[in-house]
């Protein structure tokens, strides 16, 4: 088992004819992901890496049976792309795009949820179920199938932690990037709940960072609802005060969102918190 994507995922790529869309479509196909369609308005009838391109998401989903979408379009077009994917009835929408205005995401997140779809991102690397499907931009070669679920706000930290796990022989069930913006479609709590229900996932790694209160909310959820061992790392422990660091969501305000407050909340929930990413495999093995 895995969460969200597997060998039955039928993926549609929005923005497939652009540079990033075309490049990552080829990468996902090479991994074995079933990319069944692409969409770029006005480019219908073309193909990219053998994948048929349609003018609308609705037509692509109808004719190919696509059940998931990944969005590689510029920020100014992302809101329309999100609406179109939700209106087409796709169950999973992954948005890689950076720089989407907060107001647009407030509207989009509410709209997608009302349509019954799950949104990952924006400003995230997507997800991968090793050996089954890759949906996004994660480097495939660092992953190994196994029992550790990974959920993260940071793309590059995810890669570092996954590589450390793989080198110790600790494979992953699914690795999920929720995105680093202030407004994202799925929270730590949403993904933790899926991992808790997944029979294949036997341990969970959570990678957080300063800003917001998502990690504190995750800690409360872990305390009451998660029975599997959880190991965490919180980035930004040495960040200068009163400065925004990294992602748009990494903003400390009113004394909330500091690395220390997050670490304390997680530890009080029984989570082993690593001092640095390379320590995570050892803590997982001890869990």
What is the pLDDT, as a whole number, of residue 258? 86
- pLDDT at residue 240 in the model: 61
Who contacts 60 (Cβ-Cβ below 8 Å, separation ≥6)? 12, 37, 38, 39, 52, 54, 66, 88
Q: Supply the pLDDT for residue 287.
A: 87
Which residue matches tokens 């179920």?
Answer: 129
CATH topology identical between 10-120 and 139-286: yes
CA distance linking residue 108 with residue 79, whole number of Å: 6
Exactly one of 24, 141, 247, 276 is catalytic; name it.
247
pLDDT less than 70: residues of the chain: 1, 238-256
Q: Report residue 239 as tokens.
A: 């960040």
- The answer as to CATH 3.40.50.261 being correct for domain 139-286 is yes
Give CA–CA dist 196/201, Å, rounded: 7
Hey, which residues does 230 pair with through a beta bridge?
A: 204
**Neighbouring residues of 44: CB distance < 8 A, sequence distance ≥ 6:** 53, 54, 55, 56, 59
Closest CA to 172 of 233, 225, 131: 131
- Residue 237's pLDDT is 73
Contact 32, 143 (CB under 8 A): no
Architecture of domain 10-120: 3-Layer(aba) Sandwich (3.40)
Residue 266, number of CB atoms within 10 A of its CB:
25
Whole-model pTM: value is: 0.93
Q: How far apart are CA 244 and CA 167, in angstroms?
A: 33
Domain ranges of the chain: 10-120, 139-286
Calpha distance 133→217 (Å, rounded): 29
Verify whether residue 247 is a known catalytic residue. Answer: yes
């Amino acid at each position: 088992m895995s969460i969200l994507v597997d060998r039955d995922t039928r993926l549609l790529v929005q923005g497939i004819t652009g540079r990033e869309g075309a490049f990552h479509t080829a990468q996902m196909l090479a991994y074995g992901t079933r990319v069944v369609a692409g969409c770029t308005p006005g480019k219908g009838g073309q193909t990219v890496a053998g994948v048929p391109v349609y003018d609308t998401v609705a037509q692509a989903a109808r004719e190919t049976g696509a059940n998931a979408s990944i969005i590689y379009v510029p920020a100014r077009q992302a809101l329309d792309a999100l609406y179109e994917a939700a209106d087409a009835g796709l169950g999973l929408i992954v948005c890689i795009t950076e720089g989407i205005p907060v107001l647009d995401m407030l509207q989009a997140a509410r709209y997608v949820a009302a349509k019954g779809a799950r949104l990952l991102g924006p400003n995230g690397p997507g997800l991968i179920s090793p050996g089954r499907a890759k949906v996004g931009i994660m480097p495939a070669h660092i992953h190994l199938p196994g029992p550790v679920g990974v959920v993260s706000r940071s793309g590059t930290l995810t890669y570092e932690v996954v590589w450390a796990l793989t080198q110790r022989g600790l494979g992953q069930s699914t690795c999920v990037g929720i995105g680093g913006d202030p407004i994202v479609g799925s929270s730590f709590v949403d993904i933790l709940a899926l991992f808790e229900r997944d029979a294949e996932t036997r341990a969970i790694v959570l990678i957080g960072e300063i800003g917001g209160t998502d990690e504190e909310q995750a800690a409360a959820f872990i305390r009451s609802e998660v029975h599997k061992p959880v190991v965490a790392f919180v980035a930004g422990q040495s960040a200068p005060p009163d400065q925004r660091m990294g992602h748009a969501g990494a903003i400390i305000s009113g004394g909330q969102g500091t690395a220390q407050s997050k670490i304390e909340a997680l530890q009080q929930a029984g989570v082993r918190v690593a001092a640095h990413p390379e320590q995570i495999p050892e803590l997982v093995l001890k869990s």
